[in-house]
Amino acid sequence: MSILEAPRVYFKGEVTWDPIVTNNTSSFYNEAAAETVFPAAADKVAAFRREAIDAVVGGGNWNPHGTHRAVFYDTAVCGVDLGRNHEQQDPFLAAAVSFTGMLVDLEPYGSISSQLFFDEMRFGAGGGYLISAPRTSRVTARYINFARNSANKMIAGVASVVWQSSFAKTDGLRIDAFDSPVLAALHGALADDDVLGLTVRFNAYRTIYFDDPTLRNGAPSVKRATQTLQAKLNGGGFQPNPARSLIVGAIGLWRRNEPAHESGERVLIPPASSSLGGSAFGRLNGNTLVLDLANVFPEIDDALTKQNFGTLSVVAVDPATNAETVLATFPYSAYDRAAYEASAGIVTAAVGAAACAAAQGTLELRGGDGSVLLAEKALRAVPDTPNLYLDQGTTANATARVYDRGIPVSKAIPVTLYSMTPGGDKIRAATQLQTDANGVVSFAIAAETGEIQPYVFAADPTDSPPDQGVDTQANTYMNVRILPADAWVGQVAPTWDNVFGNVLANWNAMAPCMDNWLNLADPAQVKAFGASLKAHTDPAKFENYAYMPVTRDMTAGQRALLYAFLDAPPPPAAAAVEFMGAAPEPQRRNYAELSRELRGGAE
């Protein structure tokens, strides 16, 4: 199953990231209470905005005027695979890939809960070669690699991330193939009942900030860049400062029982002895071995030269006898920069018949010197809902499916569920669970208090407890954000002072970009835009690109108060307006620490 079988389309390009990062620290935002932390001032919004700008120089706030938008640009189809390896002949080649999403971290302080809210991903143009993919579920980030690009040590520039979403054919997925063989093949494959739709997976890497790829944490040039931004912000107007990454990706088949948001394939993770920080995904299609190495090999310089580990070998180790069988080898030219960008880090090799049988063993990726770079983690429990929002006082049932070497388990097996502290850095509790006969484990989540609650799954008895924090390669995990009920807020009188002070001021302060569309401090405008505000804050539209607040942190009490205000008769004077990263570490570090390290502190 998966995008690691043909047909498959490759794309590459760039993406901008424009999040507001003011809420990344507790001095500006209380993520448990879902509240902006205001300074003591008569005009708390103005004072907050001033402090957010002050924090640009020396405080790590690199984008107080962010919009949260993430937009692909210069991104196009660059190759196809119809089972005959990488091809450059299809008329779908060079088709533009269009995507605009909203980048939101479920846990604002950390970096392991990123997601993209969006409405549609599009390959090609309407009327021509086209894959139009309306959203089925969010694009989710997993497997953040904290050791990807040691030459780009600037904020999170050292890291790379695997992003994935899947698109159900029952949700309006459309393919206009015309004379494109690969599109025809994808369209034809959708007729198979076992194919649920299409999966898009892409790797984002080489992230740069302040539009300057030469910046490095601590360098004097960073201070100059922050001072320039601060001056712009103080000069007025709308001054976003987006970061940008390179991306390579693939779109292929989404099979039944396959996770929508992350790999359900065989997963090879870096062992403690490896210098690598990212995992690979693999699949054996008949006698063809396909490996997704998009998140694995570091770039060692600004020219994006891939680190050379010599000729790689994929070895299957028999767990019972430790007998080794070499399945395939890949020379450096198969994973160097050119190859990486041509086929999104996906490599393919034929495997002999005898070796195919041995492939049921534990896979290892070895470097030219024989060292084990990656080793397979056989049992993995993948949550069906990677990022979940709940309101305090509600309960939800969560599920995860266990995979054994990329195949859904079809028997009952034990799974350990670790509930973690909000930052994912410590274990709060461990619970022993059991899957059903289909390998699905279920558990109830009672949203008792406002907080961030990560869960880590361990399906393999040999798994180490995540007592060093969530290991983004070894652990599968889900994040739960419980929004406080704020019942008292919903019960106060729906006066403007109450609505602004308890509801709108939070985003009026945190999101100056909102001034472009609506002045949240202006009761007449808020009232005039009442219908639009209600439409955009409707919980039923939570998944939409245009949902407000973008940060998905409006509590039920706040919504109740806002709606009570909006539903009240307009005051007589109201306008009748209709619309109105790091070098290789000598020792592995706590993942929570690594995550936090990517937040600010560039100077």
Partner 1 sequence: MLFFQLGAVSNLGDAQRMLRTAIGVELGTLPPYLYALYSIRPGTNAPAVSRIKSVALQEMIHLCLACNMLNALGADPVLQPQTYPGPLPGDVGPPGGTPLTIRLLPFSVDAMDQAMKIEQPEKPPDFPIRTLAVQAKPQAVTIGQFYAALDELLKSLSPSDWRQSRNQIVGDQFFAGQLFAINGYADAHNAIQQIVSEGEGAKDDPLDFQHEPAHYYRFGEIYHDKVLTKDTNPLGYAWGPQPLGVDWSSVYPAIADPGSHDFSQEPPAAQRAQERCDAAFATLIDELNGAASGRSGALGRAVRAMYDLRTAALHAFTTALAGGTQVAGPAFRYKPPQTGVTP
What are the structure tokens assigned to 302, written together? Answer: 């600004």
Which string of x and - marks every residue 206-225 that binds partner 1 (by CB under 8 A)?
Answer: ----xx--------------
Is the four-CA dihedral 138, 144, 149, 152 of positive or negative sign? positive
Q: Min. distance of Cβ 177 from partner 1 in angstroms?
A: 10
Binding mask 477-516 for partner 1 (x = CB under 8 A): --------------------------------------xx
* The two structure tokens encoding residue 280: 């690979």
For 172, 234, 504, the CA distances from 237, given in Å and listed in that order, are: 40, 9, 21
CB 436 within 8 A of CB 412: yes
Note whether 105 and 550 are within 8 A (CB): no
Exactly one of 126, 220, 370, 569 binds partner 1 (CB under 8 A); which one?
A: 126
Among 88, 193, 220, 235, binds partner 1 (CB under 8 A): 235
Residue 231 neighbours by CB under 8 Å, 6+ apart: none
Nearer to partner 1, 10 or 210 (CB): 210
CA–CA gap between residue 294 and residue 584 (Å, rounded)? 19
Q: Nearest approach, Cβ of 579 to partner 1 (angstroms)?
A: 5
What amino acid is encoded at 196 in this protein?
L
Tell which one of 33, 46, 76, 326 touches partner 1 (CB under 8 A). 76
Q: What separation in angstroms does the CA of 412 have from each of 419, 433, 439, 475? A: 22, 10, 6, 20
d(C-alpha 132, C-alpha 121), whole Å: 6
Angstrom distances, CA of residue 293 to CA of 4, 143, 297, 403: 11, 12, 7, 20
Residue whose CB is less far from partner 1, 128 or 286: 128
CB 75 to partner 1: min, Å: 9
To partner 1, the closest distance from the beta carbon of 572 in angstroms equals: 15
CB closer to partner 1, 305 vs 516: 516
Given the complex with partner 1, which of 125 and 446 has the nearer CB atom?
A: 125
| Binding status of residue 523 toward partner 1 by CB under 8 A | no
Q: Does 227 bind partner 1 (CB under 8 A)?
A: no
Tell me the CA end-to-end span of the chain in Å, nearest whole number.
Answer: 45
Amino acid at 553: D
| DSSP H or E stretch at residue 81 | strand 69-81
Binding mask 418-447 for partner 1 (x = CB under 8 A): ------------------------------
Binding window for partner 1 (CB under 8 A); candidates: 66-74, 452-460, 480-488, 553-561: 66-74
User: In terms of CB distance, is 24 or 63 closer to partner 1?
Assistant: 63
**Rounded to the nearest whole angstrom, what is the least distance from the CB of residue 215 to partner 1 in the complex?**
13
- List Cβ neighbours of 366 (8 Å cut-off, separation of 6 or more): 312, 313, 314, 315, 372, 373
Closest to 250 measured CA to CA, from 289, 286, 203: 203
Give the per-residue contact string, 127-146, with partner 1 (x = CB under 8 A; - = no).
xxx-----------------
Question: Minimum CB separation from partner 1 for residue 358, in Å?
Answer: 45
State the nearest-atom distance from the C-beta of 540 to partner 1, in Å: 16
Task: Round to whole Å and give the CA distance between 291 and 307.
Answer: 17
Reported residue count of the chain is: 603
Which secondary structure element, helix H or strand E, spans residue 339, and what is its range?
A: helix 337-342
Alpha-carbon distances of 181 from 26, 92, 280, 394, 480, rounded to whole Å: 53, 9, 28, 49, 42
Cβ 127 to partner 1 shortest distance, Å = 4
CB closer to partner 1 out of 17 and 29: 17
244 vs 405 by CB, closer to partner 1: 244
Q: Does 88 bind partner 1 (CB under 8 A)?
A: no
In this structure, which amino acid lies at residue 148? R
Rounded to 10°, the helix 220-234/44-54 angle is: 150
Find the shortest distance in angstroms from Cβ 122 to partner 1. 10
Binding of partner 1 at residue 71 (CB under 8 A)? yes
Report how many residues bind partner 1 under the rule CB under 8 A. 40
In whole angstroms, the minimum distance from the beta carbon of 98 to partner 1 comes to 9
Q: Which stretch binds partner 1 (CB under 8 A): 37-45, 88-96, 268-276, 482-490?
A: 88-96
The span from the CA of 363 to the CA of 376, in Å, is 5
Task: Write each residue from 558 to 587 as x if it is in contact with partner 1 (CB under 8 A), else as -, in one continuous string.
Answer: -------------------xxxx-------
Which one-letter amino acid corresponds to residue 46? A
If the CB atoms of residues 77 and 289 are measured against partner 1, the closer one turns out to be 77
| From 118-126, 451-459, 563-571, 593-601, span contacting partner 1 (CB under 8 A) | 118-126
Smallest distance from the beta carbon of 508 to partner 1, in angstroms? 16
User: Would you say 178 or 542 has its CB closer to partner 1?
Assistant: 178
Tell which one of 239, 263, 279, 288 touches partner 1 (CB under 8 A).
239
87 forms beta bridges with: 80
* Spatial CA neighbour of 492 closest among 507, 504, 505, 502: 502
Q: Which residue's entry shows tokens 């961030």?
A: 452
Contact set for partner 1, span 365-384 (CB under 8 A): none
Enumerate binding residues for partner 1 (CB under 8 A). 14, 16, 65, 71, 73-74, 76, 94-96, 124-129, 178, 210-211, 228, 231-233, 235-242, 244, 515-517, 532, 577-580
